[in-house]
Amino acid sequence: MVERAAREPGLRAALFPLPGPLRFLLLSSFLIPLGSFMVLPFMSVFLHERLGMGLGTVGVILAVASLVQFSGGIVGGALADRIGLRRTMLWALVVRTAGFAGLLLALRWPPLAVGALVLTCCGAALYLPANKAYLVHGVDDERRPAFLSAGNAALNAGMAVGPLIAGPFVLSSPGFLFAAVTALFIAVTAGHLRLPATEGQHATKPGETARPGPLTGVAILPFAANALAFYLYFHFQHFLAVYAVEHASSAFYSMVLLLCFTLVIVVQPLASGLIRRMPYALALTVGFTGLAAGLALLAAGNRTALLVGGALITLGDIVLFLKNDLEALRRSSRSDAVVFGQQRLAAGLGACASGVLGGQLYVLSEHTGNTGWFWLLAAAQCLLLPPLLLVLRRRAAQLPVPDGDHEGALTR
């Protein structure tokens, strides 16, 4: 075990030397969420304040958009499997650029805003599975966590910086903001034209002779664990803003988010090798325990609890989200793009369920006069629901392995 650890590359050795196409892809992984998060976090304010839509309507629009953005990844993975990674990324960026241009036009014709928002989410759904698969194409198993975590760090950095840049312009100069983001996406799309094509190189894994459906060969346990992790994490993502503003301030809520983004950017790349070596059962235990501790701590409602609770939740999701992706790649016989698409579908189902069920729980806790109960109930779910994965694991292990599929793609 010691010898094996000594042979494994450190973070720097795993990533470098980095070829030019991958350097550009990592830069794009920062620029794309940077542009997106200059707009998307403020859409509720923009639709309600600027375009005059009711909050009920805005909520439905954002719920549909979120479901499309996450669950549409299954389509993105299947498309990449058919036409190749670079072509899929290009089409995705064209769609997303059209969406941001549509938001600019919506300033003159407001009904166009809904279709434009959905277009941006469709583009995101198509892009991310192909992006992740291109990033790890040809990379050996020991180096994959470093590349995936570097991509996640770039993505989170863009998500953190985007709102800081755009905040002053959302209501005062939205036309300038939408035009700038559209121009950014045009430039990023042009850059993707120069990426080497990957068609025919890894659209399918060895042994795949036909193109099965997008859900064929799904790695059941990582899929279910990912859905559950996103369901529990999105209690924090969906409802912390309301809770934090009530108990602290909107400025302090921004500080909590900045801390969470910073932890992902710094900790996940450094811990990627450790997470890869960690047994899957241990990773699930550590991750869900971190979520439970952080959610329970939020119930205290003070500023220290918000900061420490947010940090624990983020550390838990760092382990869960990366390990579930790595396990899905290891256990499935499908192409990388399809696997990432399947995991995005799981994330979308979990996030959607969190919005629906979590919203009802939050309303109930408000009726009791103490919204801290919402976080305690969420924490309890972190402890009570994960053991169901063990039942799923046992049942999956009893399924027959198809001939020639020694990885047990449908079962493990």
| Mean pLDDT for all residues in the chain | 82
- Does some domain include residue 405? no
Q: What is the number of structural domains in the chain? A: 2
Residue 282: inside a domain: yes
Are 337 and 384 contained in the same domain?
yes
> What is the C-alpha separation between 28 and 22, in angstroms, rounded?
9
11-46 burial, b for 16+ CB within 10 Å, e for fewer? beebbeeeeebbebbbebbbbbbbbbbbbbbbbbeb
274 and 325 part of one domain: yes
Distances (CA, A) of 327 to 19, 140, 319, 335, 407: 26, 14, 12, 14, 12
Residues 47 and 76 in one domain: yes
The secondary structure element, H or E, covering residue 130 is helix 112-135
CA angle 144, 149, 151 (to 5 degrees): 100
Does residue 150 form part of some domain?
Answer: no
pLDDT at 408: 41
Is residue 161 located within the same domain as residue 304? no
CATH number at residue 28: 1.20.1250.20
Q: Are residues 258 and 387 in the same domain?
A: yes
Q: Does 407 fall in a domain? A: no
Assigned domain for 248 exists: yes
pLDDT at 389: 82
> What are 33's two structure tokens?
């969420």
Give the type of residue at 41.
P
pLDDT at residue 402, as a whole number: 43
Same domain, residue pair 222 and 193: no
- Asked whether residue 163 falls in the same domain as residue 277, the answer is no
Residue 288 lies in a domain: yes
Low-confidence ranges of the chain (pLDDT < 70): 1-18, 44-45, 55-56, 59, 167, 170-171, 198-211, 392-412
Q: Do 126 and 66 have their domain in common?
A: yes
The pLDDT, as a whole number, for residue 395 is 67
Largest CA distance in the chain: 65
Predicted local confidence at residue 12, as pLDDT = 58
408 part of a folded domain: no
Residue 151 in any domain: the answer is no
Is 194 in the same domain as 237?
no
User: Which domain covers residue 95, as residue numbers?
Assistant: 10-143+156-204
What CATH code is carried by the domain that includes residue 362?
Answer: 1.20.1250
Distance CA 60, CA 67 (A): 11
Query: Are both 189 and 239 inside the same structural domain?
Result: no
Give the pLDDT confidence score for residue 3 in this predicted structure. Answer: 43
Q: What is the pLDDT of residue 164?
A: 78
pLDDT for the residue 405: 43
Question: Do 175 and 260 sit in the same domain of this protein?
Answer: no
What is the per-residue pLDDT for 225? 95
Alpha helices in 55-166 (DSSP H): 55-71, 73-83, 85-105, 112-135, 144-166
- Check residue 201 and give its pLDDT: 42
DSSP secondary structure letter of residue 41: G
| pLDDT the model gives residue 55 | 55
Say yes or no: 286 and 388 in one domain: yes
